[in-house]
Structures are given as C-alpha cells and as structure tokens.
A = this chain, B = another copy of it.
Amino acid sequence: MANDKKLVEQITSMEEDFAQWYTDVVVKADLIDYTSVKGCMVLKPAGYAIWELIQRQLDDRFKATGVENVYLPMFIPESLLQKEKDHVEGFAPEVAWVTHGGLNELQERMCVRPTSETLFCDFYANDIHSYRDLPRVYNQWCSVVRWEKETRPFLRSREFLWQEGHTAHATAEEAEERTVQMLNVYADFCEQVLAMPVVKGQKTEKEKFAGAKATYTIEALMHDGKALQSGTSHNFGDGFAKAFGVQYTSKDNKLEYVHQTSWGMTTRLIGAVIMVHGDNSGLVLPPRVAPTQVMIVPIMQKKEGVLDKAYELKDMLSNFRVKVDDSDKSPGWKFSEQEMRGIPLRVEIGPRDIEAGKCMVVRRDNGEKIEVAIDELQTKVGELLDTIHNDMYNKALAHREENTRVAITWPEFKDTIENKPGFVKAMWCGETECEEAIKDETGASTRCMPFAQETLSDVCVHCGKPAKKMVYFGRAY
C-alpha cells in the first residue's frame, strides 16, 4: 500500500498551498513538461488531447453559426502593427521581434503575432469590395506569442494555442449582434462541455481590449476563490476599418467602412478546468473533454479469463473513449493513477465479478462505487457520464454562489475582499480613477459589469458618488 500511495503523496494539498497544488497536478497528471525555452511548455499527449476535444467541439459550434476557418501568417511587419494607435500601445511592449531571415538582416523587423487584428484588417482591405462580400466571419486556430515576464502552465505562457475569430459586417448593429452571439457560444460551451459556470458581462474602459469599443467577457471562479477570465469577445466598431481602410460599396453605391469584431479562447481553459474541478487526489476531468472517459482495471489479471473479460467490456463500451490498464502495476497504483489523471469512471473487474456477471463502477468526481450488471454496463456508463457532468456543474455553481458576496459600504467591501475568497458584487460610479483606487487599496480588480444588472444601492461603494453599474470585483489570475 505504501507504494500505491506514492503518486498521491507527491501532491501538495490545495488547502496548504493552492499554487503548488496546481503545479503538482499539471505535472503529475502528465499534461505538460517544461522546456529549454523559458516560459514555453510542451503539451504532452494527455494535455494536448484535452485541447483537441475542446477544439473539435468549439469548432463545431462555430461552424453552426456560419464561421469559416482560414490561416494567416504568423509574422506582422512593424509598420502594420503600428497602424492602430491603441492597439500598438497595448501590444508592442510584449512581442517577440524577428530581425534576421537566414543570414541577412531584415529591412523591416516583424513581430510574431500576439493577436491578428492587424493582419486580418490588411487582408480584408484587399478582400472586401462590395456589400455582397459581407459579412466575413472568419476564424483561425493557431499559436500566438506574448513576451510575459511571469509565466505559469496554461494560465500565462509566452506561447499559447488559441482560436481567434475576426469578422467584418456592413452595420454596427450586426457587429454588436455577432460580438454577443460569440460570447454566448463561449458561455454555453463552458457550461455544457467543461461543466463550468461563468458570469457574462462587459469589461470596463480600463480593462477592455487595446483598440476595442467594447469588450465582453466570461469570468469563472476557481476553487481558491480567484477569478479567471475565460474568453473575450470584442466589438471594434469602425475604428480598425478607418485605420486600415477597410471599405465596401453599399447597395446605394456609397463607400462605407465595415464594422468589426474579434473573439478568442485559449489553452487557458485547461487551467480553468483544473482549478474549478480538481481535488487533492489530482485532476477531475469533465466527461466531455476527458480523452479517456472510462478506465477498465482488471483485478487479479493473471487469473484465466480476467483480461479477456476486460477486453470484452472495452468492446462493449466502444462508443465511449475507453482503455484497459493491462500494465503490470498493482491495482492500487492503477487506481491512484486513474484518479490523478482525472478519468471520470473506473470499471473494476475480477474473477468474483465475472462469476456474478457484474462489475464495480467508481466515479472520480465523488468516489461513489456502483455495482453494475455487465449486460447493463453500456447504458449505465452513458447515464453516469451525463450525471457526472451535471453534478460537476452544479457543484461548481454552488461553490460560486457561496463565494459571491454583496458589499454596500466601503468597510464591508474591504473586509470581504481581505477575508473571504470569491467575487464581491458592488455598485460603481463608472470612473476609471475610482476603479484604480479600489485596485490599489485592495488588490481587487473589476472582473465585469454583468449583463444581469442589479441595484444594490444608489451610490458607488468606494467614492459615494451616484452609482452607474453593478460590478463583479475579485482577485484574478
């Protein structure tokens, strides 16, 4: 038993040190490896397979709304990056610069894309001529680079994988509609695929994307009570179109600027899944993004017929993502490993089970053990995976609700932020200065102005001036 427990013992407990627990899980669950390139990681098979499942399901949802995929260059000439003033100020300090191609110095240096608004605008300026060419609803899956000083696996790395949608529309209304539509796609995806509840809302002027007119966000609450921005959708109005000359001829034969949006989600979502659902035994994967949904563990596998039966069960479960652990490790070790890797269901099958025509099914999310007749296994596994998804969602939602508190007065606000984890809902005057003062005094930033507004009081929690918006405040990753 001592040996079987080794895997688990190497994880720090969440309560002791959440950051260390996170790092332990990421490595022990075999999701990533560190590399010789500072701030960049290897996504190992177990980690990349989660991304593939996210990508496939998100891409299907995109395509159902008319999105088409494209691929643009990874380099941006410096002069192109500089065309939109706010945008270049936001990104220039954190890009990687290519200065030499082969043995020669480049005439103009280029950055590796931190995001591709400028490239899409340059492309659209050539590609869009008439109202017949609109809307353009394009997306790309790629990697981007931001030269961060502090990095953490999945949450903040110098290179990360993402999708970036970039659209162009004839009217401001249509652009606004698409911006909100994609935020809703993101929120539904988080809830229905990642079992992760999110708050939908708008970023403040201070927190919005460089060059955007409005940024919408989904914010999720991690197990430690910190917030994680999990996806954003931006409405650019015609600002970029004017900077890049993206124009079309309208039905009335007038030259008009297009209205644009962009929206993105990243491998950061894997960090969110870990920190929302994980526990002190390791990762807990939502069934719909679990690369292996069911691990079959044979008990006394050297006894005749046990391994054969295990493979038979595997065939029965072939419409799920299923594996048999037929390695020569002990069952106890296999159990720990399945738990560490967050596999939603374990099926134990041994000689006595075979005799009785049943097996033991164990849930990763709550440890429940369920005796199941073998001829009902297929139906039961399907039901259980759905039940686990729903239970994980509800547990995460309950955690968020317990950790979302209201503050009316400033002392209340300060006390809550200091002593309680989670979101604080409070009224705000709408002034950036006041927002900055709140952050300086407490470390809490404005996460979003939720779409679902409430009136908690008439005045700003900090300055006492008339309140304009209810805001979710929190400490964030």
Residues of B contacting A96 in the complex (Cβ-Cβ under 8 angstroms): 75, 98, 100-102
Contact B99 A99 (CB under 8 A): yes
| Closest CB in chain B relative to A279 CB, distance in Å | 26
Question: Which of B33, B51, B69 has a CB less than 8 Å from the CB of A123?
Answer: B33
Question: Which of B49, B95, B100, B122 has a CB less than 8 Å from the CB of A69?
Answer: B49
| Closest CB in chain B relative to A45 CB, distance in Å | 4
Contact B37 A75 (CB under 8 A): yes
Residues of B contacting A48 in the complex (Cβ-Cβ under 8 angstroms): 68-71
Query: Quick one: which of A206-240 are within 8 Å of B by CB?
Result: none
Residues of B contacting A126 in the complex (Cβ-Cβ under 8 angstroms): 33
Residues of B contacting A40 in the complex (Cβ-Cβ under 8 angstroms): 73-75
Query: Quick one: which of A91-150 are within 8 Å of B by CB?
Result: 93-103, 110, 112, 119, 122-123, 126-127, 138, 142-143, 145, 147
| Closest CB in chain B relative to A291 CB, distance in Å | 10
Query: Could you say which interface size class chain A belongs to?
Result: 35 or more
| Closest CB in chain B relative to A148 CB, distance in Å | 9
The answer to whether A93 and B97 touch (CB under 8 A), given A40-B75, A45-B138, A71-B48, is no
Instruction: Give A122 to B45 CA distance when docked, in angstroms.
Output: 17
Contact A112 B110 (CB under 8 A): no
Closest 3 CB pairs of A and B: A40-B73, A45-B68, A101-B147
Given A37-B110, A48-B70; 7 other pairs, CB 8 A cutoff: A33-B126, A37-B73, A37-B75, A43-B71, A96-B100, A97-B100, A102-B147
A-B contact pairs, 23 of them (CB 8 A): A33-B123, A33-B126, A35-B72, A35-B123, A36-B122, A42-B71, A42-B72, A43-B70, A43-B72, A45-B68, A48-B71, A49-B68, A74-B74, A74-B145, A74-B159, A93-B102, A95-B102, A96-B100, A97-B98, A98-B98, A98-B99, A99-B99, A142-B143
